[in-house]
């Protein structure tokens, strides 16, 4: 049913509370501040907010190192503020999903502290230990250049512990049933406080077999079913959006062949090939990635994104492909990270070029899946490469030309605001863009509105249409006797293409442009289209509006 499975056509917006809006003036964003910005988000048209970790944490990995799963970090507010926030979001029809970071805890977590101090503690087996240095201690490092190994000796425990990520993030022993029970308890807790699901961190590592003798970690997929089942018992419409950067041939293991595991996964395959396609002005590798990730259960959905809070991971591309993305979008070594990615934000990567930004966004909104926007990208915010690692793309939201971009009235925000250059807050901020009908912000608002009127993208199946030009991607979606067609020119020069829409009957002879008056009528069954450099078109096939033609919902 079109009104069920809300995530099939949601517009998700991700943000971290600490850098969004500071209401109490201490230099850190908080839930009260975020609440004041809910009308902004409602106006933009987002239907779900994904909150990055906000639980108690020493903040050595931006909150992905949690030391208490059942409390809000005091710098962001209280549990009371959190519940006020989920309530206020609900009043506006906005759902909230939160990060679920259970591959590891912070080393400051009480569980780890007890585990290391006492070999007989009930928490000892909640982590992964080895009496001596395992042979594979140097393999499987996730942050090369910053992280040295995956096993570290703890002098208190007099043993080595496993950490897939930084050494202050000891892995939980997820094979221990008590740990799984605790994970479910954490989920149940936040569900009870009003969330509609979770963005689950590092899923392949959560379900991997862990231990000193493990050479190649094997995924324990059944665990995903147990988690899903519990969630659905507690809250029928809650979802899990999995962070799993995996090869397409294991996608169905994560979704579950019967659709009984993860509801959603980020499409990393499409993400990387999308950037390569833009760098090379060649749509073919993107098309291949779309075909490779086509299969998914009817109830599942892809999360489509351009940039997120991490580096743009290009690890799945060939070396030549990766080099060409580096050359196009991140040529300086300082823009690159972990030997595999680019740490910049989207707008500077695309040279602040409005045509390319619109192209990238138009693709994100029309490729198969549900779009996930990163806060500030609706304004074209930039990065601060003087900040270490991934921090460069996590600067505070730029609201206005007031001091510190209107983010805080403190003398010094904890994370510095971008204040100079073409992406400084005097140039890029929400207040000015709100008043300018041609701003990127208002463009994004309009494109979101239109995206909601093409539910075929979320529900339908796609066909790639031959355009005769490798730079031009044309995708048609069919669903319930309705079809829509999207054309994107990845090249910077105009292209003339000719194509048949390929639907049965004569409805394909008319293409109604959804964004301008520039409609298209076929001559002898073929449409001829001249599309400008980096141009894009959104068409409804056949002309009769979706709302008029739609028979049953
Ligand atoms: C993936 C998150 O996206 C990243 O930011 C974090 O550092 C690691 N998981 C560890 O939690």
Catalytic annotation, residues: 201, 243
Instruction: Give the closest residue to 143 by CA, choosing from 339, 343, 428.
Output: 339
Beta carbon of 202 within 6 Å of any ligand 1 atom: yes
Q: How confident is the model at residue 547 (pLDDT cuts 50, 70, 90)?
A: very low
Nearest to 97 by CA among 6, 22, 223: 6
Name the token pair of 181: 């029970």
Where is pLDDT greater, at 552 or 64? 64
Across the strands, what pairs with 472?
489
Predicted pLDDT at 130 = 98
- Residue 103 CA: nearest ligand 1 atom is 11
Say what the pLDDT of residue 544 is: 57
Q: For position 552, what pLDDT does the model report?
A: 43
What confidence tens digit (pLDDT) does each residue in 446-491 have? 999 999 999 999 999 999 999 999 999 999 999 998 999 999 999 9
Pairing of β 95-100 and β 197-200:
parallel
Task: Provide the pLDDT for residue 551.
Answer: 47
Whether 354 and 441 have beta carbons less than 8 Å apart is answered as no
DSSP letter (8 states) at residue 441: H
Q: Is the CB of 393 under 6 A from ligand 1?
A: no
Closest residue by CA, ligand 1 atom 5: 310
pLDDT-derived band of residue 505, with 50, 70 and 90 as boundaries?
A: confident
Say if ligand 1 is within 6 A of residue 310 CB. yes
For residue 216, the model assigns a pLDDT of 86
Angle at 17 between CA 15 and CA 18, to 5 degrees: 115
Residue 302 scores a pLDDT above 60: yes
Strands (E), 203-286: 239-242, 264-266
- What's the pLDDT score for residue 31? 98
pLDDT averaged over every residue in the chain: 96
Q: What is the mean pLDDT of residues 190-205?
A: 98
pLDDT grade, residue 217 (50/70/90)? Answer: confident
Q: Say yes or no: CB of residue 64 within 6 Å of ligand 1.
A: yes
Residue 309 CA: nearest ligand 1 atom is: 5
Distance between first and last Cα of the chain: 6
Query: Average pLDDT in the 531-547 region?
Result: 84
Q: Report which protein residue has its CA nearest ligand 1's atom 4.
A: 310
pLDDT at 387 over 50: yes
Query: Please, what is the Cα angle at 172 between 169 and 175, to 5 degrees?
Result: 155
Chain centroid offset of residue 75 CA? 25
Q: Which atom of ligand 1 is nearest to the CA of 61?
A: 7
Binding site membership of 165 for ligand 1 (Cβ less than 6 Å):
yes
75-104 average pLDDT score: 98
Residue 95: strand, helix, or coil? strand
The set of residues, in sequence order, having a beta carbon less than 8 Å from that of 502 and lying 6+ positions away, is 463, 465, 476, 508
Residue of 54, 59, 61, 266 best suited for mutating to test ligand 1, as the one with most atoms within 8 Å of CB? 61
- Percent of the chain at pLDDT > 90 equals 96
Centre of ligand 1 to C-alpha 165, Å, is 8
Q: Is the CB of 469 under 6 A from ligand 1?
A: no
- Residue-wise pLDDT tens digits, 238-291: 999 999 999 999 999 999 999 999 999 999 999 999 999 999 999 999 999 999
pLDDT score for 543: 67
Per-residue burial over 347-384, b if 16 or more Cβ lie within 10 Å, else e, is bbbbeeebebbbbbbbbbbbbbbbbbbbbbbbbbbbbb
| Residue 293: predicted pLDDT | 98
> Tell me: the pLDDT tens digits for 310-341?
999 999 999 999 999 999 999 999 999 999 99
| 321 Cβ contact list (under 8 Å, min separation 6) | 276, 280, 285, 314
Pocket test for ligand 1, best of 202, 374, 391 (most atoms within 8 A of CB): 202
| pLDDT in the model for residue 99 | 98
């Amino acid at each position: 049913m079109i009104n069920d499975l809300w995530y099939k056509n949601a517009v998700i917006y991700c943000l971290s509370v600490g850098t969004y809006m500071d209401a109490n003036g201490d230099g850190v964003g908080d839930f009260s501040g975020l609440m004041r910005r809910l009308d902004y988000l409602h106006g933009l048209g987002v239907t779900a907010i994904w909150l990055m970790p906000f639980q108690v944490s020493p903040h050595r990995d931006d909150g992905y190192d949690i030391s208490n799963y059942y409390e809000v970090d005091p710098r962001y507010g209280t549990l009371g503020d959190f519940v006020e926030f989920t309530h206020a979001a609900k009043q506006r029809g906005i759902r909230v999903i939160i990060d679920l970071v259970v591959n590891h805890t912070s080393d400051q977590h009480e569980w780890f502290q007890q585990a290391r101090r006492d070999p007989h503690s009930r928490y000892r087996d909640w982590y992964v230990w080895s009496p001596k240095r395992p042979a594979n201690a140097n393999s499987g490092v996730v942050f090369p250049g910053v992280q040295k190994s995956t096993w570290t000796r703890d002098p208190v425990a007099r043993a080595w512990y496993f950490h897939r990520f930084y050494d202050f993030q000891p892995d939980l022993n997820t094979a221990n049933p008590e740990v799984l029970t605790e994970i479910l308890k954490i989920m149940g807790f936040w569900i009870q406080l009003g969330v509609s699901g979770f963005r689950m961190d590092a899923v392949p590592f959560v379900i991997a077999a862990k231990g000193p003798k493990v050479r190649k970690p094997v995924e324990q997929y059944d665990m995903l079913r147990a988690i899903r089942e519990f969630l659905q018992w507690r809250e029928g419409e809650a979802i899990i959006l999995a962070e799993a950067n995996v090869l397409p041939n294991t996608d169905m293991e994560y979704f579950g062949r019967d659709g009984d595991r993860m509801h959603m996964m980020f499409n990393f395959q499409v993400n990387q090939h999308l950037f390569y396609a833009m760098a090379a002005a060649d749509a073919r590798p993107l098309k291949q990635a779309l075909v490779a990730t086509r299969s998914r259960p009817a109830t599942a959905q892809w999360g489509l994104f351009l940039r997120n809070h991490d580096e743009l991971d290009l690890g799945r591309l060939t070396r030549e492909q990766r080099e060409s993305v580096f050359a196009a979008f991140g040529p300086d070594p300082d823009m690159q990270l972990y030997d595999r990615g680019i740490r910049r934000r989207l707008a500077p990567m695309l040279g602040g070029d409005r045509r390319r930004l619109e192209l990238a966004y138009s693709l994100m909104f029309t490729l198969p899946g549900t779009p996930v926007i990163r806060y500030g990208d609706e304004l074209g915010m930039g990065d601060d490469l003087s900040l270490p690692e991934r921090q460069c793309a996590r600067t505070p939201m730029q609201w206005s030309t007031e001091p510190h971009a209107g983010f805080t009235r403190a003398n010094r925000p904890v994370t510095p605001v971008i204040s100079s250059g073409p992406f400084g807050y005097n140039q890029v901020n929400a207040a000015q863009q709100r008043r300018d009908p041609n701003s990127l912000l208002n463009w994004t608002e309009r494109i979101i509105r239109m995206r909601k009127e093409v539910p075929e993208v979320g529900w339908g199946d796609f066909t790639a249409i031959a355009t005769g030009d490798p730079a031009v991607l044309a995708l048609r979606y069919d669903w319930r006797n309705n079809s829509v067609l999207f054309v994107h020119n990845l090249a910077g020069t105009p292209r003339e293409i000719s194509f048949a829409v390929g639907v049965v009957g004569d409805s394909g002879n008319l293409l109604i442009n959804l964004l301008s008056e520039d409609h298209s009528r076929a001559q002898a069954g073929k449409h001829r289209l001249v599309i400008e450099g980096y141009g894009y078109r959104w068409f409804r096939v056949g002309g009769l509006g979706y709302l008029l033609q739609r028979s049953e919902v």
